[in-house]
Amino acid sequence: MGQVVLKDINKFYDAVHAVIDVNLQIRDKEFVVFVGPSGCGKTTTLRMIAGLEAISSGDISIDGTVVNNLAPMDRDIAMVFQNYALYPHMSVYDNMAFGLKMRKFARPEIKKRVNEAADILGIGDLLKRKPRQLSGGQRQRVALGRAIVRHPRVFLFDEPLSNLDAKLRVQMRVELKKLHLRLGTTAVYVTHDQVEAMTLGDRVVVMKDGLVQQVGEPLDLYNQPANKFVAGFIGSPAMNFSTVTMADGNGRLTAKNSGFELEVPAAHGDRLRGHVGREVTIGIRPEDLHVATDADPVGLTFPSKVEVVEQLGSEILLDVRAGTDMMVAAVDPTVRAKVDEQLRLAVNPARIHFFDAKTEAAI
């Protein structure tokens, strides 16, 4: 079992309100990822679950027991630190065995578990080495091994992959996912990398300035972001935002600014009718833009001028100017666009997002 419940969690560092009213139920076997920009309180939240940081108010419970006042060792959790925190004077074997020794496991059992973990992670032939004789990726595995051998109720990860190079990071990401499927242990994972969050998480918690912005499955965050922040944070390249004024032309709603006038799809109509005459923020993902053809209704296209062409192979990113706004469009790799070319772009109507200009909440 490994069910973690955060109830009204707050954390103050003197005047800094680092974590604000966090509520979350983490189910057994679930992989939950906290993601957000630097300083948003992810690490602090994780450390409070670990018991390394006292909580200012609220309750944390694991499997129904409130653990607010339990020492880290009594919470039956294991943590993987960003810098691995391997004991530099101990061999790989001793690093992994330390937690079991401290918990007075019998020698054969320790040996069995360490070897088992080493096999899973493919570090069986490194057991005699010291951490400093290992590469970054190998250290990472040892740190994972140290967590695995304990068979804890919850794994806690604080940006465990951020010190690895890009390629290794992708590889370890896949391995982590497999490991989780294999072990089925509840995991709480902190990262500032939204791709990591999307690929690893069963559910993702997006945080900003100590506040939880949205909790949901990766695709839900992508398709129905709760606010402008989540919309801009999830997805790469980031969503395009423009400020538009809503207008009502003979019962047809339009979103208009200096660069374009888009017909608002009927599905959004009811929700937006109240905003007629006011400004709202419109959000369009780069991948929801394409070069307009005759098949596209005119009301969903707008003129633009190409300023930069980024060839990525699988797709082309066009940095275009539409009115006073800059936008990015991810278009088909067969498109031959040149800088300064005038291009008509079309929007996928089902995938336009609207946000309140003031509260930034999704409309």
Partner 1 sequence: MAVQAITTTLGEAPQPRRQRLLEDERWLAFFLIVPTMVLLGMFIAYPFVRGILLSVTNSRVGVPGDFVGLANFHKIWNDSIFRTSVYNTFLYTGVTTVFKLSLGLWLAMLLNRNFKGKAFTRAFILLPFIIPTVLSTFAWKWMFDPTFSVLNWLLFHVGAITGRINWMGDPDLAMISIIIVNIWRGVPFFAISLLAGLQTISPELNEAAAIDGAKPWQRFWHVTWPLLLPVTMVVVLFSVIQTFADFQIVYVMTGGGPANATHLFATYAYQIGIGTGLLSEGAAISLAMFPVLLLVVVFQLLYIRRVETR
Ligand X SMILES: Nc1ncnc2c1ncn2[C@@H]1O[C@H](COP(=O)(O)OP(=O)(O)OP(=O)(O)O)[C@@H](O)[C@H]1O
Cα angle: 158, vertex 72, 114; to 5 degrees: 70
Q: Residue with CB nearest Mg ion?
A: 43
The entry of Mg ion, partner 1, ligand X, none near residue 140 (CB within 5 to 8 angstroms by kind) is none
DSSP 3-state of 111: helix
Contact 155, 147 (CB under 8 A): yes
To partner 1, the closest distance from the beta carbon of 130 in angstroms equals 8
One residue of 8, 13, 174, 223 binding ligand X per CB under 6 A: 13
Cβ neighbour number for residue 246 with a 10 Å cutoff: 21
Report how far residue 86's alpha carbon sits from residue 75's, in angstroms, rounded to the nearest whole number.
Answer: 21
One residue of 22, 26, 35, 42 binding ligand X per CB under 6 A: 42
Cβ distance to partner 1 smaller for residue 83 or 324: 83
For position 39 contacting ligand X by CB under 6 A, the verdict is yes
Sheet holding 16-26, edge to edge: 16-26, 4-13, 57-62, 65-66
Sheet holding 31-35, edge to edge: 77-80, 154-158, 186-191, 31-35, 203-208, 211-216
Query: What are the backbone dihedrals phi and psi of residue 208, each rounded to the nearest 5 degrees, phi first?
Result: -155, 130
Residues 6+ apart with CB under 8 A from 268: 253, 352, 354, 363
Which residues ranging from 174 to 193 are in contact with ligand X (CB under 6 A)?
Answer: 192
Which residues ranging from 320 to 339 are in contact with partner 1 (CB under 8 A)?
Answer: none
For position 250 contacting ligand X by CB under 6 A, the verdict is no
Binding mask 85-114 for partner 1 (x = CB under 8 A): x-xxx--------xx--xx-----------
Q: Which range of residues in 12-20, 115-123, 138-146, 278-286 is near ligand X by CB under 6 A?
A: 12-20
| Binding residues for partner 1, total number by CB under 8 A | 22
Binding mask 192-211 for ligand X (x = CB under 6 A): x-------------------
DSSP 3-state of 274: coil
For position 13 contacting partner 1 by CB under 8 A, the verdict is no
Contact residues for partner 1, defined by CB under 8 A:
50-52, 71-73, 77-79, 81, 83, 85, 87-89, 98-99, 102-103, 130, 146, 150
